[in-house]
Amino acid sequence: MLKVYNTATRAKETFTPIESDHVKMYVCGPTVYNYVHIGNARPVVVFDTLFRVLNCLFKQVTYARNITDIDDKIMKAAKEQGISIAALTAHYADEYVKDMAQLNALSPTISPKATDHVGDMIAMVEALIANGHAYEADKHVLFDVKSMDDYGKLSNRSLEDMLEGARVEVASYKKYAGDFVLWKPSSEDEPGWDSPWGRGRPGWHLECSAMIENHLGDTIDIHGGGRDLIFPHHENELAQSQCAHNGKQYVKYWMHNGFINVDGEKMSKSLGNFKTVRDLLGKFHGEAIRFALLSGQYRSELDFSAELLNQAKASLDALYGALLNSPAPVQALSDEQRNQSAVFAALLDDLNTPLAISELHKLSKELNKFPENADLKSELVGMAELMGLLQQEPDTWFQGEESDTSWIEDLIAQRNQAKLDKNYARADEIREELKAKGIILLDSKEGTSWRKE
RNA sequence: GGCGCGAUAGCAAAGCGGUUAUGCUCUGGAUUGCAAAUCCAGCUAGGCCGGUUCGACUCCGGCUCGCGCCUCCA
């Protein structure tokens, strides 16, 4: 039985999908105008893990992760670079997909783009105007938050409280300071779409509502994203969708991941202290980055550092080491084996990945003691797969994918001869020579193998 | 000002009212021509002050410190 923490109720709940054999999940993806940072990667890895677990439990899972390809930051970046927003976003959306694949994230079932759904958005705005939840003012269309009783419930705040802390000037055309933009006008040189309110573009929150309605329906099971999206993004999405659908429930379980911090502070594009996934991939295995992201429970903050990544790498070395030393075959796990695994139990408890990883370590220790045990090895590999870990060949993990390793083999052969000749000085010399090039030699009864540092 | 989160050993990070979390690091031992890997043993915990309890890291209250949202943000 899967339990998830629901932001809406502020409690851990048993997960029961609306349709018993079809789960619908939507996760907010990135705005593509640059390489994504590691903070963008956390929800991807977290909800990818949830996607894998859900696939074990339910017959069908539809997982949508959007690409935001229209937005003022995109417009600014495109203008600066003198290219179209379509060219800019197509490029960075591709790079995003590449980066996420390096983190072993499976492809979502669908990856809808905002610009493909402008018609849906316009239709939703029309519906909101028609039923009295939105109004047109000065070429804008605004959502009337006072027309909704429960506005603020998701983020647990009252309208008065919110406005008290507001640090932004209120636009004069708003009936009420808390009203938010559904549609805004575009100038001649800005991207825009024709609409009943003139040429313009959608407000930020609208795309998710429209894409969910189009692809998944009025009500979905899980909506995920970073904590910072709770307000205003998800609160406003909820308001729009619910009001456009006569009060019908929008989302059953809201799930939000905590932040990635750097030196104890939130990492963000606006603070400029962010690290791109691309840069990190130049220094660390994608799998080590993924491991680091899963080393903390998803709702907690996670301080991202080289130390964390080094520890992740060392831990993976230990796990892959156990696989390398085991000659046993890996078999597919039965449902029963999976259900009995402590790793699975940890994941079912609101994705307790740190606990799940500790269980992986326990399995690897046992496997080191009993390398022939195929059940142990199969459980280790099969359960790690649910977290997107330990899926490459141990040799590949330790040696990389270098094409020509014959020079290493040559030196090992030379050293073996030196050892036979009892010329240990020469043998040690070769060891040092390889170590200087980042190659570690491991002698065993079966012979000498090597790995990268 | 409103709302919320956190504080666990050198680092990272969980569960749990009483029984070894776990990993990395470090120390000692086994093993090894050397080294690594592995195994065994060990070392550092629960911000502070009270309360409840036979017993609290775990429950309750207060305090201190740190962080987040209220503005584009994963």
pLDDT of residue A273: 78
Q: Identify the residue whose Cα has the smallest distance to the C1' of B12.
A: A308
pLDDT of residue A447: 87
A23 pairs with which residues across the strands?
A: A61
Is the model's pLDDT at A169 over the cut of 70?
no
pLDDT of residue A167: 58
pLDDT in tens, A19-32: 999 999 999 999 99
The pLDDT of A43-56, averaged and rounded, is 98
pLDDT in tens, A73-92: 999 999 999 999 999 999 99
Q: What does the alpha-carbon distance between residue A252 and residue A255 come to, in Å, rounded to a whole number?
A: 10
pLDDT of residue A221: 97
The rounded percent of chain A whose pLDDT value lies above 70 is 98
User: How far does the CA of A152 sit from the C1' of B70, in Å?
Assistant: 11
Task: Please say whether the dihedral angle defined by the alpha carbons of residues A15, A19, A20 and A22, taken in this order, is positive or negative.
Answer: negative
Of the CA atoms within 13 Å of residue A258, those in its CB half-sphere come to 17
Rounded-to-10 torsion of CA A138, A143, A145, A148:
140
Pick the closest to residue A79 from A208, A178, A238, A191 (CA basis): A191
pLDDT in tens, A206-244: 999 999 999 999 999 999 999 999 999 999 999 999 999
Is the model's pLDDT at A403 over the cut of 90?
no
User: How far does the CA of A153 sit from the C1' of B3, in Å?
Assistant: 11
- Tell me the CA distances in angstroms from A90 to A75, A83, A278, A370, one per residue in order: 13, 11, 17, 50
Q: What does the alpha-carbon distance between residue A317 and residue A442 come to, in Å, rounded to a whole number?
A: 14
Pick the closest to residue A386 from A346, A442, A443 (CA basis): A346
For residue A57, what pLDDT band results from cuts at 50, 70 and 90? very high
User: How far does the CA of A260 sit from the C1' of B70, in Å?
Assistant: 20
pLDDT of residue A424: 92
pLDDT of residue A161: 77
Contact A390, A347 (CB under 8 A): no
CB-count exposure of residue A276 (10 Å: 0-12, 13-18, 19+):
middle
Of A329-338, A380-389, A444-453, give the lowest mean pLDDT range: A444-453
Q: What does the alpha-carbon distance between residue A443 and residue A448 come to, in Å, rounded to a whole number?
A: 4
DSSP per position, A192-242: -B--TT-SEEE-TTHHHHHHHHHHT-S-EEEEEEEGGGIIIIIHHHHHHHH
Task: List chain B nucleotides near protein: any atom < 7 Å from a Cβ.
Answer: 1-6, 11-15, 21-25, 32-40, 66-74
| Nucleotide minimizing C1' to CA distance for residue A226 | B74
pLDDT in tens, A179-198: 999 999 999 989 999 999 99
- Tell me the CA distances in angstroms from A73 to A78, A124, A279, one per residue in order: 9, 24, 22
A23: left (phi over 0), alpha (psi -120 to 50) or beta: beta
pLDDT of residue A171: 77
Helix (H, G, I), strand (E, B) or coil at A331: coil
Is the model's pLDDT at A42 over the cut of 80?
yes
Helix (H, G, I), strand (E, B) or coil at A403: coil
User: How far does the CA of A323 sit from the C1' of B34, in Å?
Assistant: 26
User: How far does the CA of A296 sit from the C1' of B11, in Å?
Assistant: 14
- Kind plus residue range of the DSSP H or E element containing A256: strand A251-257
**Predicted ipTM of the assembly:** 0.95
pLDDT in tens, A350-383: 999 999 999 999 999 999 999 999 999 999 999 9
A322-340: string of b/e by CB count within 10 Å (b at 16+)? bbbebebeeeebeeebbee
| Nucleotide minimizing C1' to CA distance for residue A256 | B74
Structure pTM?
0.96
* Residue A201 φ then ψ, to 5°: -145, 160
Q: What does the alpha-carbon distance between residue A39 and residue A202 come to, in Å, rounded to a whole number?
A: 25
